Chains A and B, each alone.
Chain A
Amino acid sequence: MGGKSKARFKLSLIALLALSFTLSGCGGNNKTNSESKGNTATATAAANSDSSKVEPFDISVFIGQAGQQPTPDNKIYKKIKDELGATFNYEYLAGDLNQKLGVMIAGQDYPDVMTGNTKLTAAGAYIPLEDLIEQHAPNLKAHYADYWNMMKDPNDGHIYILPNYGVYNGKVNSTYYSGPAFWIQKAILKEFGYPKVKTLDEYFDLIAKYKEKYPTIDGSPTIGFEILNNDWRNWGLFNAPQHLIGHPNDGGVVVKDGVAEIFADKDYAKQYYQKLNEANELGLIDKETFVQNYDQYMAKLSSGTVLGMFDQHWNFGAAEDSLKTQKKDERTYVGLPLVFDTNTKDYYRDLPVLNLNNGFGISVNAKDPVKIIKLLDALMAEDWQKTLAWGIQGEDYEVNEKGRFIRTQEQRDNAVDSTWILANKAKTIVDFAPKLEGSYSDGNSTGADSQIEEYQAGLKPYDKEILDAYGFNSYVDFFSEPPANPVYYPAWSIDLVEGSEAKVVNTKLNDLSTKFLPKAILAEPAEFDSAWSEYVAQIGKVNVKAYEDKINEQIKWRIDKWSK
């Protein structure tokens, strides 16, 4: 009897629990509904710009890069949800991008919004945006007005992706150079009395001298020069020759008078790799350099033992951050625009170009594209742009009596604290959504990094010393002022089209360089020539013309379509 009544008691308890859950669930819903309604009212009243009602809605987003989910109570996302109704559900890339895309494409399994990718474009995964923007997005239309033709897909003339970078408004201030250069530790420049380093030979001389003087740094052996060539991060090995003869970054080709040709097998490439071969003979190049992966490379840079490398700044930013946290400011790097001889003008720094095939596109599976485009349009309003880039006035930045945006030291520290960012910044939107760059209508820069006052206030004494010694405002001044971009520039953003011969050839060329260049660099100096001619002979076997033709065709196309 006792057992029976016990069971009955348990059953009723479970029923009660279930009921209470349902009820509380209902209650919760009601609450959020009324809350969002209230917010709708305030938002429409405050903004008074959009007549449509703000209903809560979810947007699923695929980001083609690794990333971290913002915290659930993230300040900015909460504001977006309250005022615009949108909740972003991010899926960040885990693992290999191509593999992930293959699975997505094979299953036609797309979220509402995806970051730009030519594979997805080729698979017809995005919807054309021209009409949507014309009808629903006045801010975006004004923003992209000058770039409209450039944004069109070369294959069918539709706009699929909203470029996330490269659209400039107002005066462009720059204090940070993110592109390619030969990097050198600040300590070396200081050690040798702030020399002006212009040529490759001077660069390696400095590294050799410093390495001889300091065979170890903090107890670990000094590494002279690193060359990273791991998976898709191949520019460390491939790209330097074009810059050394005074060309900007065009990827695998050098464009002269509107005609592109590969440079991998040219004499100036040979000259560079021969120099590396000599440097290797002197023991300046890390023995493990061609064996390491990206993580190992970053670990070495973060240890402060690497004197120099050829790389793009954004690629090793994390290592510099780590060095700064370790208080090893003298081990961070200065970018040098090196050339073969002093008669050549350096052209590393370029005027920012439209970041084609990057940024958000709306997928064919999105249920309500109009809502999404309206949301992106709303975020383009200057107030929202300030919120996204600077944060909330009084919390994340202050405005001084001249109307300039500045931050306190605490706010500056917050802004580089990754945990703080997850809770207080919509980093993924800042990175991938369309944005204002340059300056706002009130003259402030669109980011703290390019606000001159901010930059100078944030300078460490060590950096100030170096910049003063050279008489520069920022490290960007090491580079020559860039000339106007050619219309077709840059060639590296040309879509070779999935499955085309040009793309296969490109892969083959990369395979050959990955295989033969390390061999040539590590060869005995006497054997360099034979290693090099083997490499050139192998390139000769590949249908390079198909690759060059495709690029030249696109360059012509760009000149035709993009010229104003």
Chain B
Amino acid sequence: MDETLARKKVVRHPKKPKKQPITWSIIKSQNQLIWMSVPLLFYIILFAYVPVWGWTMAFQNYRPGRPFSEQKWVGFDQFKFLLTDDNFLRVLRNTLAMGLINMILGFVTAIVLALLLNEIRKVFWKRTVQTISYLPHFLSWIIVTGIVATSLSINDGIINIVLMKLHLIREPILWLSEGKYFWGIVGASHVWKEVGWNTIIYLAAIASIDPALYEAAEIDGANRYKKMAFVTLPGIKATIVILLIMSVGHVLEAGFEVQYLLGNGLVVDWSETIDIFVLKYGIAQGNYSLATAGGIFKTVVSITLLLLANWTAKRLGEERLL
């Protein structure tokens, strides 16, 4: 452990190691490292680059079981169908909205919970709270949606019972029948399921902050809130930014199971996401080309968003991914 840390420091010292020209002698001296990376490289090529070949499907009228040469090429027809469909804008809006809600709620709650956990002095309580909060992460969505649907039911659903007992509502609300509640329900379910899990990385980041900083702040007369605001938060800022950039790329991954399982005819205008749309009009129709086109669309948007976020971070002088 100590050894590796020490080594890291040594590596950091030369200012710009990348500029070193690649020579045969370097390659030779590092040949073990190069060989070690070959399987990984192979893995990435095989599973991340070779499948991109499948994108050709999006420009065909693909029929399974036929050789490639017999597929019919249709140019951008699939994209045209996708982008001109009446529902597509609505579906895109839902995906973006739920993706953003999930992202923002996820970040805020995870950071707040991490900060609060960090302030707990008794290790037993800290551990207990942490364990309980991250356990739902291990449930699959099908179970979580079952729990959500049952809690929101008007027959003995716990949410309605609590709200009635608190006299906040007069009669039970049929939560899943109102489009305006749907995004919130999805966001809240995500928070419930993932908040504990998401705090882990922040707690790790907090643990790596130099305790000397806290001592110095204390000597300067900082109270707990001030230490939180001026030591802890800046200390994990780099982690937050990196994670934020990474999750911006996933905004279109607003989810499929939750919306598919909780959605119904009454809330379909708010619940349908790109994934559901692609499933209905692509895969369920045997139209794999349309499904691929949907996938390409998502990938392109995601990469654009990722680069944009990265660029913004660079302009703001923050840590960045690329």
Q: Please tell me which one of the listed residues A220, A221, A507, A518 contacts residue B280 in the complex, with CB atoms under 8 A apart.
A: A507
Do B149 and A293 have beta carbons less than 8 Å apart? yes
Do A290 and B177 have beta carbons less than 8 Å apart? yes
Do A102 and B265 have beta carbons less than 8 Å apart? no
Flag B145-171 by CB within 8 Å of A: 1 or 0 each: 010010001110000000000000000
Asked whether A404 is an interface residue with its Cβ less than 8 Å from the other chain, the reply is: no
CB under 8 Å from chain A, chain B span 255-312: 261, 264-266, 268-269, 279-281, 283-288
CA distance A296 to B147 in the complex (A): 12
Q: Please tell me which one of the listed residues B149, B265, B269 contacts residue A290 in the complex, with CB atoms under 8 A apart.
A: B265
A499-B285 contact given A108-B65, A288-B174, CB 8 Å threshold? yes
Asked whether A16 is an interface residue with its Cβ less than 8 Å from the other chain, the reply is: no
Flag A280-294 by CB within 8 Å of B: 1 or 0 each: 000000011011010
- What residue of chain B has the Cβ atom nearest to residue A223's Cβ? B155
A229-B286 contact given A106-B64, A296-B149, CB 8 Å threshold? no
Do B65 and A498 have beta carbons less than 8 Å apart? no
Asked whether A515 is an interface residue with its Cβ less than 8 Å from the other chain, the reply is: yes
Which residues of chain B come closer than 8 Å to A123, judged between CB atoms? 63-65, 286
Flag A500-521 by CB within 8 Å of B: 1 or 0 each: 0001100100010011011100
CA distance A98 to B285 in the complex (A): 9
Q: Please tell me which one of the listed residues A291, A295, A296, A499 contacts residue B266 in the complex, with CB atoms under 8 A apart.
A: A291
Flag B209-233 by CB within 8 Å of A: 1 or 0 each: 0000000000000000000000000
> Distance (Å) between the CB of A240 and the closest chain B CB?
16
A124-B174 contact given A102-B288, A290-B266, A515-B268, CB 8 Å threshold? no
Asked whether A372 is an interface residue with its Cβ less than 8 Å from the other chain, the reply is: no
Q: Please tell me which one of the listed residues B61, B279, B280 contacts residue A511 in the complex, with CB atoms under 8 A apart.
A: B280
Q: Please tell me which one of the listed residues A98, A221, A511, A541 contacts residue B268 in the complex, with CB atoms under 8 A apart.
A: A511
Give the bracket for the number of chain A residues in contact with chain B. Answer: 35 or more
Asked whether A119 is an interface residue with its Cβ less than 8 Å from the other chain, the reply is: yes
Asked whether B244 is an interface residue with its Cβ less than 8 Å from the other chain, the reply is: no
CA distance A511 to B276 in the complex (A): 12
Which residues of chain B come closer than 8 Å to A221, judged between CB atoms? 155
Asked whether B176 is an interface residue with its Cβ less than 8 Å from the other chain, the reply is: yes
CA distance A515 to B64 in the complex (A): 32
A290-B284 contact given A105-B65, A123-B65, A515-B269, CB 8 Å threshold? no
Asked whether A14 is an interface residue with its Cβ less than 8 Å from the other chain, the reply is: no
Which residues of chain A come closer than 8 Å to B149, judged between CB atoms? 291, 293, 296
Flag A119-131 by CB within 8 Å of B: 1 or 0 each: 1001111000000
Do A518 and B64 have beta carbons less than 8 Å apart? no
> Distance (Å) between the CB of A290 and the closest chain B CB?
5
Asked whether A52 is an interface residue with its Cβ less than 8 Å from the other chain, the reply is: no
Do A499 and B287 have beta carbons less than 8 Å apart? yes
Do B64 and A291 have beta carbons less than 8 Å apart? no
> Distance (Å) between the CB of B267 and the closest chain A CB?
8
CB under 8 Å from chain B, chain A span 189-229: 220-221, 229
Do B65 and A515 have beta carbons less than 8 Å apart? no
Do B283 and A102 have beta carbons less than 8 Å apart? yes
Q: How many inter-chain contacts with C-beta < 8 Å in the A-B complex? A: 81
A503-B65 contact given A288-B153, A290-B265, CB 8 Å threshold? no
Flag B44-81 by CB within 8 Å of A: 1 or 0 each: 00000000000000000101110000000000000000
Q: Please tell me which one of the listed residues B61, B155, B281, B284 contacts residue A98 in the complex, with CB atoms under 8 A apart.
A: B284
Flag A531-548 by CB within 8 Å of B: 1 or 0 each: 000000000010000000
Which residues of chain B come closer than 8 Å to A108, judged between CB atoms? 65
Do A518 and B265 have beta carbons less than 8 Å apart? yes
A229-B284 contact given A106-B64, A291-B176, A296-B149, CB 8 Å threshold? no
Which residues of chain B come closer than 8 Å to A287, judged between CB atoms? 154, 174
**How many residues of chain B are within 8 Å of chain A by beta carbon?**
28
Q: Please tell me which one of the listed residues B155, B176, B268, B285 contacts residue A507 in the complex, with CB atoms under 8 A apart.
A: B285
CA distance A230 to B265 in the complex (A): 9
- What residue of chain B has the Cβ atom nearest to residue A96's Cβ? B279
- What residue of chain A has the Cβ atom nearest to residue B279's Cβ? A98
Which residues of chain B come closer than 8 Å to A519, judged between CB atoms? 265-266
CA distance A295 to B280 in the complex (A): 22
Asked whether A99 is an interface residue with its Cβ less than 8 Å from the other chain, the reply is: yes
Do B281 and A507 have beta carbons less than 8 Å apart? yes
Which residues of chain B come closer than 8 Å to A220, judged between CB atoms? 155
A291-B174 contact given A515-B265, A518-B265, CB 8 Å threshold? yes
Which residues of chain B come closer than 8 Å to A541, judged between CB atoms? 86
Do B268 and A499 have beta carbons less than 8 Å apart? no
CA distance A519 to B288 in the complex (A): 32
CA distance A73 to B304 in the complex (A): 58
Do B265 and A99 have beta carbons less than 8 Å apart? no
Q: Please tell me which one of the listed residues B61, B65, B280 contacts residue A499 in the complex, with CB atoms under 8 A apart.
A: B61
> Distance (Å) between the CB of A190 and the closest chain B CB?
27
Which residues of chain B come closer than 8 Å to A514, judged between CB atoms? 264-265, 268
Which residues of chain B come closer than 8 Å to A503, judged between CB atoms? 285
Which residues of chain B come closer than 8 Å to A290, judged between CB atoms? 177, 264-266
Do A122 and B266 have beta carbons less than 8 Å apart? no
> Distance (Å) between the CB of B39 and the closest chain A CB?
24
Do A122 and B286 have beta carbons less than 8 Å apart? yes
> Distance (Å) between the CB of A277 and the closest chain B CB?
15
Which residues of chain B come closer than 8 Å to A291, judged between CB atoms? 149, 174, 176-177, 264, 266
Which residues of chain A come closer than 8 Å to B269, judged between CB atoms? 515
- What residue of chain A has the Cβ atom nearest to residue B85's Cβ? A508
CA distance A541 to B85 in the complex (A): 12
CA distance A503 to B146 in the complex (A): 31
Do B286 and A119 have beta carbons less than 8 Å apart? yes
Which residues of chain A come closer than 8 Å to B155, judged between CB atoms? 220-221, 288
CB under 8 Å from chain B, chain A span 61-116: 98-99, 102, 105-106, 108
> Distance (Å) between the CB of B259 and the closest chain A CB?
13
- Residue among B86, B146, B155 with most chain A CB within 10 A: B155
CA distance A229 to B86 in the complex (A): 23
CA distance A106 to B284 in the complex (A): 14
> Distance (Å) between the CB of A149 and the closest chain B CB?
26
Which residues of chain B come closer than 8 Å to A288, judged between CB atoms? 153-155, 174, 177
A504-B64 contact given A499-B286, A514-B265, CB 8 Å threshold? no
Which residues of chain A come closer than 8 Å to B86, judged between CB atoms? 541
Which residues of chain B come closer than 8 Å to A499, judged between CB atoms? 61, 63, 285-287
Which residues of chain B come closer than 8 Å to A229, judged between CB atoms? 264-265
Do A507 and B265 have beta carbons less than 8 Å apart? no
Which residues of chain A come closer than 8 Å to B264, judged between CB atoms? 229-230, 290-291, 514, 518
A98-B283 contact given A288-B154, A293-B149, CB 8 Å threshold? yes
> Distance (Å) between the CB of A98 and the closest chain B CB?
5
Which residues of chain A come closer than 8 Å to B266, judged between CB atoms? 290-291, 515, 518-519, 522
> Distance (Å) between the CB of A132 and the closest chain B CB?
20
CA distance A519 to B268 in the complex (A): 11
Supply 20 further A-B pairs (C-beta < 8 A) apart from A99-B283, A122-B286, A125-B65: A105-B64, A105-B65, A106-B64, A106-B288, A122-B63, A220-B155, A287-B174, A288-B177, A290-B266, A291-B149, A291-B266, A293-B261, A499-B63, A507-B285, A514-B264, A514-B268, A515-B269, A518-B264, A519-B266, A541-B86
- Closest 4 pairs between A and B when the two form their complex, measured CB to CB: A498-B286, A514-B265, A124-B65, A123-B64
Mark A residues whose CB is within 8 Å of B: 98-99, 102, 105-106, 108, 119, 122-125, 220-221, 229-230, 287-288, 290-291, 293, 295-296, 498-499, 503-504, 507, 511, 514-515, 517-519, 522, 541
